[in-house]
Amino acid sequence: MTVTLSVHDVREHIRRSSEPSRTSPLQASSPLLGRIFHEVAADLIRLNPLKNAFSFLETLDFDKEVWISHLAPHAYDLLLGPRLARDRARLQEASSGVLSLWKAVQSLCGWLVGLAWAARNPEGRRRALSWQDLRAALQAEVPLEADFLFPGWSEPVRLTGVADSLLKLPRSGRWCVQEYKLGRTSPEADLSQICLYHLILTQNRAKRKRSPRRETFSRMIALISFQPEMNEQLFSEEQILPAQEKLIDLIATLARVASKDHRTMPLRQPRTSHTTSALGRRLVEVFREYGKPVELAARPVTGPSFIRFPMTPGRGVKLEQIQRLAREIQIRLRLSKPPFIGVDSGHAVVDIEREDRQVVRFRDVENQLPTGDPLKGSALVPIGIDLNARLHTADLNNPVNAHLLVAGTTGSGKTEWLRVAIQGLIHSNTPKSLRFVLIDPKRTAFNEFANSPYLLTPESLVFPDAQPVADVLVEMVREMERRYGLFQKARVDNLSQYVSSSGRGFPRIVFVCDEYYALIAGDPKKRKQIEAQISLLGAKARAAGIHLILATQQPSREVVKGVLDSNMPARVGFMMVKREESKMLLGQGGAETLLGKGDLLFRDVGDPVRLQAPLFSPT
């Protein structure tokens, strides 16, 4: 069975293994600011005539200085400004980062002007490119995919990714794949990422039939960083081949194909009444019957709960149109629920439930969690496993993942996931580096942790009917302020720096609540008190090493909007009853099609990722 691995997975492994880069104004909010920057860059390159940079330049006088002075304000008014307004609440404490983002967009516009001037100015060229050719030559967010199978591999690996842009020069056959980076990131990870895109593009081409000159200059990669000033690095094929050889070995390790013994949790093939290939053909037939032709884009991938079919919609067919056919697919294929239809690695995907669902236990995946630092421990919270049995985690040190909002109906696996999150943190920490405050309105969620040395105090397993939660939150706020006082005296900014400078352990505190709605329902005065403390902790507590994990059965507007929505961007969505609930939590539908028992969607920045939560068994 082909193992699917994304370029992002490889890059993140290299980033975590390399030395942390120096700080920059963009680092604190880099995921969100980076997302905005890439959205603006893609809009400036896509063929939409209202947003395309070259279409706008075409309307101006043929003067490079005029182009430079007009393009950046145009990009701000049409593309950047509306996005900053959209995310105003989440950017309140990132003013320096926003300013650097604007400077980076200005640098990007200058680069696009330089590219257009070189292509359109006939000086020194036999023939200038037309505006139409120029727009077609530079493509944005290009999905890439290739299969690899090398000696010693037990299975083929499908490497997927989305390149920021690809420049193909007409008539010459030359091309250059480009990747944009905002702020100071990890040089090793950045270069590895773009080398992998080059590897995908050249996989199915002849490699040794070109002249030496063509080998060097016909295919290149460009790493373009904005810090916020632009820095462009060009690499030829000869320069990157040694790095690609090492990356191939890393791919085999991450995909666990170097040896069958490396597969920690093999997934059983489904025992369905129809073969997987026949099921894929039937899916295609159903879409055609309703006038929405699609094609299978790649081989299906089997996960513990479902089989994923990557699809390519036909010409003129939109993703929303095939999503509206989920109920018809359910009826035609006799499924218990409509299939999840979404996007993964640049492909539309249709997830069909397995008849023989596989149980994933925490003990099967806990070896993928890191061994924590002796003093600092680990801030990685296990979220769930993907289709290749790889465990995804959320880093509480990351501003986007500092606090988690969890929602799902009864039987969805929400409470079980909370237990796994707690146990996963315990696995990589000691009581010197981690403590919990557990809120249990049902009195049944966290009983196994009643006498745990990881509780902040012996009374930190809290039953709201016996101890007011508002009082507990007030103590958390006092602890946060006490820590900031210590940091000020030590001249440090956060918990990690304080531990490093003092050389002694100082525990991270994780506040976990199984049913947040039960705390705020009924009494308006009590709700106001609790929300005030939650708001303070959500906005300020991350650097103090205090984090919130709040779960609710009701992700309604009344619960989610306001305090939680502005301070908890990371979301874990389990099965829900209504599409509106999914949109409230995740910003889009999909959770209403989940299968329950740990089937989840995780969203921090970008599209939600579908994962399977492990089952925690104390024995």
| Beta strands, E only, 78-156 | 138-148
- Would you say residue 294 has pLDDT above 50? yes
Burial 313-327 (b: 16+ CB within 10 A, else e): beeebeeeebbebbe
Length of the chain: 619
Per-residue pLDDT tens over the stretch 411-441: 899 999 999 999 999 999 999 999 999 999 9
Q: φ, ψ for residue 18 (rounded to 5)? A: -90, 170
Closest CA to 339 of 349, 311, 389: 349
Give residue 264's pLDDT band: very low, low, confident or very high (50, 70, 90): very low
Cα separations in angstroms, 201 against 143, 299, 468:
11, 19, 60
Give residue 508's pLDDT band: very low, low, confident or very high (50, 70, 90): very high
| β 175-182/219-226 pair status | parallel
d(CA 88, CA 21): 27
Q: What is the mean pLDDT of residues 381-403?
A: 91
Classify residue 365 by burial, with Cβ atoms within 10 Å: 0-12, 13-18, 19+.
buried
Tokens (6 digits) for 409? 């109906």
Give the DSSP letter of residue 488.
H
Q: Residue 67: its pLDDT value, please?
A: 93
d(CA 547, CA 559): 19
Q: Residue 173: its pLDDT value, please?
A: 57
H or E element in which residue 340 lies: strand 340-344
Give residue 455's pLDDT band: very low, low, confident or very high (50, 70, 90): very high
Q: Residue 151: its pLDDT value, please?
A: 62
d(CA 406, CA 418): 9
- 3-class secondary structure, 113: helix
d(CA 479, CA 475): 6
Residue boundaries of the structural domains of the chain: 3-255, 276-353, 401-612
- Would you say residue 104 has pLDDT above 60? yes
Fold for the domain defined by 401-612: Rossmann fold (3.40.50)
pTM: 0.64
d(CA 134, CA 474): 60
- 3-class secondary structure, 552: strand
The reply to whether CATH 3.90.320 applies to domain 3-255 is yes
What is the percent of the chain with per-residue pLDDT over 90, rounded to a whole number? 41
| Beta strands, E only, 108-156 | 138-148
Cα separations in angstroms, 278 against 300, 327, 330:
11, 20, 16
Fold for the domain defined by 276-353: Threonyl-tRNA Synthetase; Chain A, domain 2 (3.30.980)
Paired with 235 in beta bridges are 221
8 A C-beta contact, residue 36 and residue 80: yes
d(CA 138, CA 118): 14
| Beta strands, E only, 110-267 | 138-148, 157-168, 175-182, 219-226, 230-236
Q: Residue 260: its pLDDT value, please?
A: 43
Q: Residue 22: its pLDDT value, please?
A: 43
8 A C-beta contact, residue 516 and residue 559: yes
User: What mean pLDDT is reported for the chain?
Assistant: 84
d(CA 155, CA 4): 10
Poorest-pLDDT segment among 142-151, 254-263, 332-341, 561-570? 254-263
- Would you say residue 302 has pLDDT above 70? yes
- Would you say residue 127 has pLDDT above 80? no
Give the DSSP letter of residue 394.
E
Amino acid type, 417:
W
Give residue 570's pLDDT band: very low, low, confident or very high (50, 70, 90): very high
